[in-house]
Structure 1
Amino acid sequence: MDKQDYKIHIIGAGISGLIAATVLEQHGFSPVLIEATHRVGGRVKTDVINNYQLDRGFQVLLTAYPAAKKYLDYDSLQLQYFLPGASIFKNQKQVVIGNPLRDTSLLFSTLFANVGSFSDKIKILKLNTRLKNKTIDQIFSDKEQSTFSYLKALDFSESMINDFFKPFFSGIFLEDQLETSSRMFEFVYKMFGEGSAALPKGGIEEIPKQLLQKLENTTVTYDSAVSSVVDGKIILSNGQEIVSDFIIVATEASSLIKNLKNQTIDWQRCDTLYFETEDRAIQKPLIGLIPDQNTLINNIVYHTGLKTSVNGGKELLSVTVLNNKGLSGNTLVDQVQKELKEFCGITTCSFIKHYSIPKSLPKLSDLQYEISPSETRLTETIYLAGDVQLNGSLNAAMIAGEKAALGVIENLQGLFK
C-alpha cells in the first residue's frame, strides 16, 4: 500500500489542522481536511466590511514564535509591526510606555510616564534580562502560579500592576484578574522581548490562507460538520459516514468522542466592536489601554495605524471588551462609545460590526510547551491536535498539529522501511 493510499482525515481546518496537513504532505501522504465552515482558519479569520479588514477578535502574530518562524513565510505575509509598548489612557491624559531598548523613540515617554515608579521600571529591565536568558523549556518546567501572584512576588507596585500589567496582559489572556498561568506570562513576555507583535497587511486570516496555498496534495471538504468520531470512522452531522485509517481531531474533541464527554474545556470569551473614526487618538502603531477597573473597554487598536490591503478611507478602530456585564446589542455599543469619548476623547465614531466570541481562548492549567507525537494518540487510529492540548497560542496550535501528524507517521513508519 502506497503512502497516498492511506485515508488520513483531519477534522478542523484551523491553524493546527493546516499544520498537520503540511507535515503529512512533507512525509508523502495525501490527507483530507474536513471543515465545518466554508473556509479555513478556525478562530483566525478576517472579514472585509465597508472596505475595512475586520479580524474576528483583535489578534496579533508574535514573530518570535518558534513554530511560526518554521512554518510561515513572513515576507509574503507583508507583516506590519506594532511598536513594543502601549498607550495608556489615565486621568484624561494619554501616556506612552514601552521598551526603549527595542525602540529608542519610547525612551523619554517611558521614563517620565506617570505609570509605576522608577523602581518598577528598573524591575522591568531586570525581568527583560532574566527572561531573555531563560529557555522555553525552563519556563514550562517551572512551578505554576497565577500571573498576578507572580508579579506580586517580583515586588511590582500596585500602580504598575493595575495600570500596565493588568490591562495589557488581560487583553492577551482575555481575562481581567491575571489568573492565567505564570508559565504563559513568561513565555509571552519572552516572545515580546525577542520579536514583534505584527499583523499581515491583509489581516490575520492571511496566515491560514498562506498555509492552505502551500498545500499541494491535501483535499479540503468544506461545510461538513462532524457529529462524532469512533475508531476508523467519522460520522457527519448529515448522517454520512466516512471510513478512515487515521483521524486527527484538530478541534475541541470532547463533543465528538464518547470517552471524552467529561473532559469539556472551558473557554474565555470576549466581544470585539469595530468603529470608523475621522482621525486617530493614538498616532503611533501602539495598543491603547484603559486601566480603569470599572470600564467595559480593555484595549483599543487603530488597525489603519498600520498599512492594510484595503482601506475604507477613514480610520478603523477595534475595541476589545472582556466582561460585557450582561450588555448586548445597541446598549453595549452605546456604552462603549460613551467610554471612548470619556476616557480617550474619541467623539465621532460610527459603529461597523460587533463580534461576540464565546470561545476566544481555552482555559487551561498545567500548561505545556510541546507534546511528544505518541502523547497525541488517543486510540489506535485517533490523534488529538489543537492548542487545547498545550496552551492558548498560535504557536501551540502549530506544535500540536505537527506532533499529531508525526504521531500518525510514527505509527506507519514500520511499514515503509
Structure 2
Amino acid sequence: MMQKQNYKIHIIGGGVCGLIAAKTLEDHGFSPIIVEATNFVGGRVKTDLIEGYQLDHGFQVLLTAYPAAQKFLDFKALELQNFLPGASIFKEGKENQIGDPLRDFSLLFPTVFSSLIPLKDKVKILKLNIQLKKKKITAIFEEKEKTTLQYLQDFGFSDEVITQFFKPFFSGIFLETQLETSSRMFEFVYKMFGTGNAAVPKAGIQAIPDQLKNQLKTTEILFNTKVKSVIDGQITLEDGTILESDFTIIATDSTALLSNSSKKSIKWKSCFTLYFETEKRVIAKPLIGLLPKENSLINNLFYTTSLKTARNGGKELLCVTVIDNHGLKGDELTQKVKSELKEHFNIDVLRWIKTYEIPKALPDLKEIKYTLTATESRYSEKIFLAGDTLVNGSLNAAMLSGEHVALEVIKTINGRI
C-alpha cells in the first residue's frame, strides 16, 4: 500500500485555487507539488511595490462575508482595512455620499437627504437588503438567471437609480457596463456586501495568497515552470521535461493544456487600472467614487491611502478603474483620464505612477454556479479541473473550487486503498 506522502499529486497553477487545493491535500496527509509559470503565487491576486506605494493589479477587494474566506483566511493576521458601506457619486462636479446608515451612522444624513435617489428607490433598496440577508446562498444559485439590469427593472427600481448608482457601482465589480451579468451573481455579491465588509489587507491584496502559501508545510512549489500539455499520468513542460504524476489538478485555464479538450476557450473581461499621486483627497472617507456619466472613461476611483497601508510613498495614492477605454492606450489614455479627473472630480494630479492593462481580469461566464459537481471537476481518471473560471468570478469561488477538487482526488485515492 502506497503511503500518502508518496503519491505524486501535481497542481498546475499557484493562484488562490491552487493554494487552497494544496492546503486541503496537506490537511489529509499528502504532499502535493504546485507547478507555477511565474515567480510568485496568487495569479491575478497580486500587489507591486513601486516608489513606496502598494499597487494592486486592478482594484480588488475582499468581501469578508465570503464563506470560504471565513474558513481559510486569518482576517486578524491580514490586518483588514474596511471600506465604508457606501459610495461617493459625482454629478456635475458635486459629491453626493450615499450608503447604509444602519451599518455606519455617518452616512445617515447624506443618504437620507441625497436628491440623487428618489424616496421610493430608497425604500426598495431597504427592501432588497432585508430580502437578500434572509435568502440562503444555495437558493440564490437555484434561481432562474436573467441579466442584472432586467432583475433591477423587475424589482421596480427606477431608471434614475439604476443609472446613478447600480450601473456605475456594479459595472466596476462585474467589469462590464450594461449590467448583462447574471442576476445570480448580483444577488450573491449584494448579499455579501450587505452582511459583511468590503476590505483590503493592510499590505495589499497579495497578502491573501501570501498567507495561504505560508500555511503550507509539505508542499513543493516549482516556480517559473511552464506546462505545455497534460495527459493521464504525465505532465510535459515547455522545456521538454516530463513529470510523472499520479493525479493532476489543473487550477488554471485548461483549454491549451489538454489536446482533446472539448471545452470552449474561456472568454475574459478586461480593464485598465491607473495609479496617480495627488497632494490631497477629494473624498475624505474610505468610499469608492463613482462617475455615472455616459461615454466617460472613468468608472470608479478610490484613494488607497484613505485606508491604512503597510507602505506609503508619502502623499495620496489614487486608483482609477477604466472598463471601456474607447480604444485609447498609453499616454493618450493617461491624459484623457487626467482630464476627466479634473473636469468631473476637480482632482489635480501630481503625477502618473503606473497603468495596468489587465486583459484577463474576470472570466466572462454565462452560466453562474456556486460550486462544482464531482462530474464537472473530473476530466479523466487522473486529471481534475478547478478554478473560478468554471464556477463564478470571485475569490470565494476560487477557494471553494480548490477545496472541492482536492477532496475529489482524496476520495479517489481512498477508494483504491
* Deviation sequence 1:161-216 (CA, Å, 0-9, x none): 01100000000000000000000000000000010000000000000000000000
- Secondary structure of residue in 2 paired with 1:258: coil
User: CA–CA distance in 2 between the matches of 1:360 and 1:26?
Assistant: 31
User: CA–CA distance in 2 between the matches of 1:300 and 1:348?
Assistant: 13
- Secondary structure of residue in 2 paired with 1:106: helix
2:61 alignment partner in structure 1: 60
2:50 alignment partner in structure 1: 49
Whether the 8 Å CA contact 1:37–1:224 is kept in 2: the answer is: yes
* Deviation sequence 1:320-351 (CA, Å, 0-9, x none): 00011110000000000000000000023310
After TM superposition, give the deviation of residue 261 of structure 1 in Å. Answer: 5.6
Whether the 8 Å CA contact 1:274–1:317 is kept in 2: the answer is: yes
1:297 alignment partner in structure 2: 298
- Counterparts of residues 204-243 of structure 1 (less than 5 Å): 204-243=205-244
User: CA–CA distance in 1 between the matches of 2:329 and 2:282?
Assistant: 25
- Secondary structure of residue in 1 paired with 2:141: helix
1:195 alignment partner in structure 2: 196
User: CA–CA distance in 2 between the matches of 1:238 and 1:351?
Assistant: 39
User: CA–CA distance in 1 between the matches of 2:374 and 2:209?
Assistant: 23
User: CA–CA distance in 1 between the matches of 2:356 and 2:207?
Assistant: 19
- Counterparts of residues 264-303 of structure 1 (less than 5 Å): 264-303=265-304
TM-score w.r.t. the length of structure 1 is 0.99
CA RMSD in angstroms comes to: 0.9
Whether the 8 Å CA contact 2:276–2:349 is kept in 1: the answer is: no
Whether 2:365 is the aligned partner of 1:393: answer no
Structure 1, 104-113 or 46-55: larger mean CA deviation? 104-113
* Deviation sequence 1:61-115 (CA, Å, 0-9, x none): 0000000000000000000000000001111100000011111110110111122
User: CA–CA distance in 2 between the matches of 1:277 and 1:143?
Assistant: 46
User: CA–CA distance in 2 between the matches of 1:71 and 1:374?
Assistant: 25
- Counterparts of residues 237-386 of structure 1 (less than 5 Å): 237-260=238-261, 262-386=263-387
* Deviation sequence 1:357-393 (CA, Å, 0-9, x none): 0000001122111123453111000001110111000
User: CA–CA distance in 2 between the matches of 1:258 and 1:180?
Assistant: 31
Whether the 8 Å CA contact 1:337–1:349 is kept in 2: the answer is: no
After TM superposition, give the deviation of residue 262 of structure 1 in Å. Answer: 4.7
After TM superposition, give the deviation of residue 140 of structure 1 in Å. Answer: 0.1
User: CA–CA distance in 2 between the matches of 1:92 and 1:282?
Assistant: 12
- Secondary structure of residue in 2 paired with 1:358: strand
User: CA–CA distance in 2 between the matches of 1:114 and 1:247?
Assistant: 56
- Counterparts of residues 132-151 of structure 1 (less than 5 Å): 132-151=133-152
Whether the 8 Å CA contact 2:8–2:246 is kept in 1: the answer is: yes
User: CA–CA distance in 1 between the matches of 2:385 and 2:76?
Assistant: 31
- Secondary structure of residue in 2 paired with 1:172: helix
- Counterparts of residues 89-168 of structure 1 (less than 5 Å): 89-168=90-169
- Secondary structure of residue in 2 paired with 1:360: strand
Whether the 8 Å CA contact 2:301–2:319 is kept in 1: the answer is: yes
1:7 alignment partner in structure 2: 8
- Secondary structure of residue in 2 paired with 1:105: helix
Structure 1, 39-48 or 100-109: larger mean CA deviation? 100-109
After TM superposition, give the deviation of residue 259 of structure 1 in Å. Answer: 2.3
TM-score w.r.t. the length of structure 2 is 0.99
2:171 alignment partner in structure 1: 170
User: CA–CA distance in 2 between the matches of 1:256 and 1:142?
Assistant: 34
In the TM superposition, structure 1's runs of 4+ consecutive aligned residues that sit over 3 Å from their partners are: 372-375
Whether the 8 Å CA contact 1:9–1:247 is kept in 2: the answer is: yes
Q: Partner amino acid for 2:85?
A: P
* Deviation sequence 1:135-160 (CA, Å, 0-9, x none): 00000000000000000101111110
- For structure 2, the residue ranges without an aligned partner over 5 or more in a row are none
2:21 alignment partner in structure 1: 20
Q: Partner amino acid for 2:28?
A: H
Q: Partner amino acid for 1:210?
A: Q
* Deviation sequence 1:229-252 (CA, Å, 0-9, x none): 111111111111111000000001
- Secondary structure of residue in 2 paired with 1:130: helix
User: CA–CA distance in 2 between the matches of 1:414 and 1:381?
Assistant: 13
How many aligned residue pairs are there? 416
Q: Partner amino acid for 2:78?
A: L
* Deviation sequence 1:280-313 (CA, Å, 0-9, x none): 0110000000010111000001000000000000
- Secondary structure of residue in 2 paired with 1:40: coil
- Secondary structure of residue in 2 paired with 1:227: strand
- Secondary structure of residue in 2 paired with 1:260: coil
2:83 alignment partner in structure 1: 82
Provide the identity percentage: 58
User: CA–CA distance in 2 between the matches of 1:346 and 1:243?
Assistant: 57
Q: Partner amino acid for 2:329?
A: S
- Secondary structure of residue in 2 paired with 1:284: coil
User: CA–CA distance in 1 between the matches of 2:350 and 2:260?
Assistant: 50
